[in-house]
Amino acid sequence: MNKRWKVKFLFLFLILLFAVVLGLTRGAVNLSLSELFLKANSYVLVLRSLRILTAIVVGMGLSVAGIALQAILRNPLAEPYLLGTSSGAGLCAVLALVLGVSSVFIPLAAFIGAVLTMILVYSLARQGSRIGAQSLILSGVIVSVALSAIIVFLISISTNEVLHGALWWLWGSMQAYDFKLLIAAGSIVVLGILAVFVLAQDLNAISLGEEEAVHLGIDSESLKKILFFVTSLITAALVSICGIIGFVGLIIPHIVRLLVGPNHRILIPSSCILGAAFMVFCDMLSRTLFAPMEIPIGVITAIIGAPIFIILLKRKQSVK
């Protein structure tokens, strides 16, 4: 790695470090770093540390899933929830809430729902041994809309208590209430990120076009299938611990491309760092803007992400 990349990585790490410090010290009650390590504040330190760890895992996973999908679908608007896995997870989570299932099993219900949706979308999009990019997108959108309609129906006939729980799943939260669940989901996410990174050179090739990838000896169909399943599993794991959080997997890859370029061997680790910092920062805002009330983090990412994406879109149009 040359000096220029080292400087850029250091810059991104400093952003993440700054976000982590803010996440630790800011909350319903602001505490300095020295105060946090007092025995009286140990519970606050553990709670905030778990939230930060969750935010880092979520930011990394959503960013890398977005990168992979944008490459294999060759669509700059592709993001982790495009293929309907989030709607499947949300539906099963809300259904579990309506049925009064213990909160311990709701993340498992969300994960199962996401995996079943992944299988459904894959079956709808498959054309023989091929998976067309447009068919995959259309199948994902159709399934997502249909499942979202069922979610709205279930919420409309539910009690206020179920409505509050459903809001958590549909707009997201970093409340890490189960460390074992975080470790399990985080392991899936980290392994998924490593798998995508191993395929970075193949992603560089397929980003140029499927014909170019074939000329370079890349089996584009196998690559699309592998990355479809890997990104779907990453998304399923993330939704099971934090609910649905939009815009992260859409805007972070675009921002990082402006900083480091399109080479996926650099783009993937850089997006992990910036995605993690973005989520930690958004979580801090969700806890502090109207403290002690907490805003769903998906609201924060949407409010920040939508203008950023519009700016990036206008910038791209002006370049053309």
Structure tokens at 135: 């068919």
> What percent of the chain has a predicted confidence (pLDDT) above 70?
94
Question: If phi over 0 gives left and psi between -120 and 50 gives alpha, with beta otherwise, what is residue 218?
Answer: beta
**How far is it, in rounded angstroms, from Cα 315 to Cα 306?**
14
Query: Does domain 26-71+79-319 fall into CATH 1.10.3470.10?
Result: yes
Sign for the CA dihedral angle at 114, 220, 61, 76 comes to negative
Tens digits of residue pLDDT in 300-313: 999 998 888 888 77
Give tens-digit pLDDT for 82-131. Answer: 888 888 888 888 888 888 887 778 888 888 998 899 899 988 888 877 77
| Tokens of residue 186, six digits | 């985080």
Residues 123-151 pLDDT 10s: 888 887 777 778 888 898 899 999 989 88
Domains of the chain by residue range: 26-71+79-319
pLDDT interval class at 15 (50, 70, 90)? very high
pTM: 0.91
* Cα–Cα distance for residue pair 41/39, rounded to 1 Å: 5
